Amino acid sequence: MGKEDIDLNTMNITVAAHKSYPSSESLKEPPIDQNELMAAASIAGSLDLHYEDEFTLSTNFHNGVSYPSAAFSVDDIEAAKKRTLRASNPTILIGENGLDSLPSLKTTQNKKKIDRPKSIAVNDEEDKDRYNLGYFILFLFGMTTLLPWYTYITATAYYEDYKFKQVDDRRNFKQDFQSFIALAASIPNLVVMVINIFLQHRISLMARFVGSLIAIISIFAVTLIFIYIDTSAWTEGFFNITLISIVISNAASSLFQSSTFGLAGHFPQKYTQAVANGQGLIGTAIPVIAVLSVVVNPNPTDSALAYFLSCLFVLILTLVSLIYLTKMKFIKNHVSLRNRRKSVIRNGKEVEIGKVKPEYRKVFKQIWLLLFSNWLNFFITLACFPAVCANIRSMDSDPDHLWSGKLFTPVATFLMFGLTDWIGKAAAAWIPVPKRHQVWLVICRIAFVPVFIFCNYKPHLRTIPVIFNHDGYYFVFMILFGLSNGLIGTRIMMSAPESVAPNQRGLAGTMMSAFVVIGIFTGSLLSLLISHLVQM
């Protein structure tokens, strides 16, 4: 296999891999000049070697040969003399004649000689996730991404049965409260997510994380204050304040979610699954907290206080974990949490990092089917949950009975969905779902829409008959609904990063999150339509 030319437009470097050295062995003949150092670093990058500072990396394949590509700043190259490369792969593949067999870069830049470093030591000790702390922090981040959403939709008893108790059942904002919550959450989610796709390379990851967390914590503090304020004389005003709180907190959580999936995309698949598992846990934990707060303390104000304080504790814990995350060498070796790099080499010239445009079209073409599957999956889920499912009542409904009057919806709807969704997300680790089958499994989930409509949905307002007239049917449907959402949705999210080049994984994760939000928004619109169809 001979040498290939280098196209500096994409920084593609082809190397004849005839010889390998153990990762513990130092390279005896380090590169001499700037261009050779860039080429060596690019090869190292294709094998998961990383500088402490961030650099952009991608890998293409042709005729069974790996073509790594990288963009480096001049500062990166100069500072490389003082850095070490961290390795997670067991071998380093180089040319038959060592580094000297690398082809020369075709560049218009001056080939300025730099001092020969004594060695480039390869050490994989700091590239390990010690005690799986990185995994568990991303797990906690996954919980936080959906915490505002689950907190508000599960607080049905607090809002509908306490704050809006004096409101006529036929008033729109009480009758379709869940649908209004879904819309208030999805619209800002959609706007923020789309903006984040195009601005993520301009705003540091750390700034996005900290800003979004502070916004969510502030909104929850305001929500706690309103628990002990009598709003019975101005329920519509309180309803509008609640919607504004939902808009702000979910806009912030949308930014936090896209940043979290973008961060997880830089790591192996299990870290994306960690985020999904965290989302599954919060979907189970919030309903459990809601049920316990009602059972242990029937007083609506005290139970609401315990409920929202528990959620606030998780947010503060996330903020503390974020601070610790910035100090983890494992994280630093994979992705920079700050925009330390000011320029890159592009087309033989030094270009400011803010002017390097991500390849949106290229990434879209590579994962368009996954994006569609992701959208459809959440479209179906939000069309049914929570707006439709939260209004399905027990066939033996008695408002004064503890089970049928107070616990049926929190347990049969929110807890059952959250638990089975979590199980489905966890099962994604050992149940493979090939990418070519994922879209068909999602299409099969469309059947859940008519199934839930023909359960005991809005029994006092519906004009169409109930077909599934036993609570057991609803439990079975909800189990299948949650399991399929968790399993298929997680496998789709896990498939996206591995479908693109390494340097595009962050963008792919952000795009996938954006289509989640689009699915939530369009599904919420359908839930409003369903609400009116059953009353016609």
What is the structure's pLDDT at 72? 38
Residue 168's pLDDT is 64
Domains and CATH numbers, the chain: 19-127 (no CATH), 130-326+358-533 (1.20.1250.20)
Model confidence pLDDT, tens digit, residues 7-19: 333 333 333 233 3
Q: Note the pLDDT of residue 172.
A: 64
Give the pLDDT confidence of 90-130 residue by residue, as tens digits.
333 333 333 333 333 333 333 333 333 333 333 454 567 77
Q: Which of 43-52, 228-237, 243-252 has the highest mean pLDDT?
A: 243-252
Give the per-residue pLDDT at 241. Answer: 94
Is residue 114 a contact partner of residue 76, using CB atoms and an 8 Å limit? no
Instruction: Please say if the pLDDT value at position 472 is more than 90.
Output: yes
Q: 259-273, 314-328, 348-362: which has the highest mean pLDDT? A: 314-328
Instruction: Give the pLDDT band of residue 170 (cuts 50, 70, 90).
Output: low
Contact present, 356 and 504 (Cβ < 8 Å): no
Residue 275 has pLDDT above 60, yes or no: yes
Give the mean pLDDT of the chain: 74
Residue 313: predicted pLDDT: 95
At 64 the pLDDT is 34
User: For position 436, what pLDDT does the model report?
Assistant: 86
Name the DSSP letter for residue 350: E
* Selected residue with higher pLDDT from 501 and 24: 501
| Residue 424, pLDDT score | 92
pLDDT band at 219 (very low <50, low <70, confident <90, very high): very high
Of the candidates 169, 184, 199, 504, which has an alpha carbon nearest to the alpha carbon of residue 367? 504
Q: Which residues of 484-515 are buried (b: 16+ CB within 10 A; e: fewer)?
A: bbbbbbbbbbbbbbeebbbbbbbbbbbbbbbb
* Residue 14 token pair: 């082809």
Which position has the higher pLDDT, 68 or 227?
Answer: 227
pLDDT digits (tens, 9 = 90+) for 477-497: 999 999 999 999 999 988 998
Looking at residue 335, the DSSP 8-state letter turns out to be -
CB neighbour list of residue 437: distance below 8 Å, 6 or more residues apart: none
pLDDT of residue 243: 93
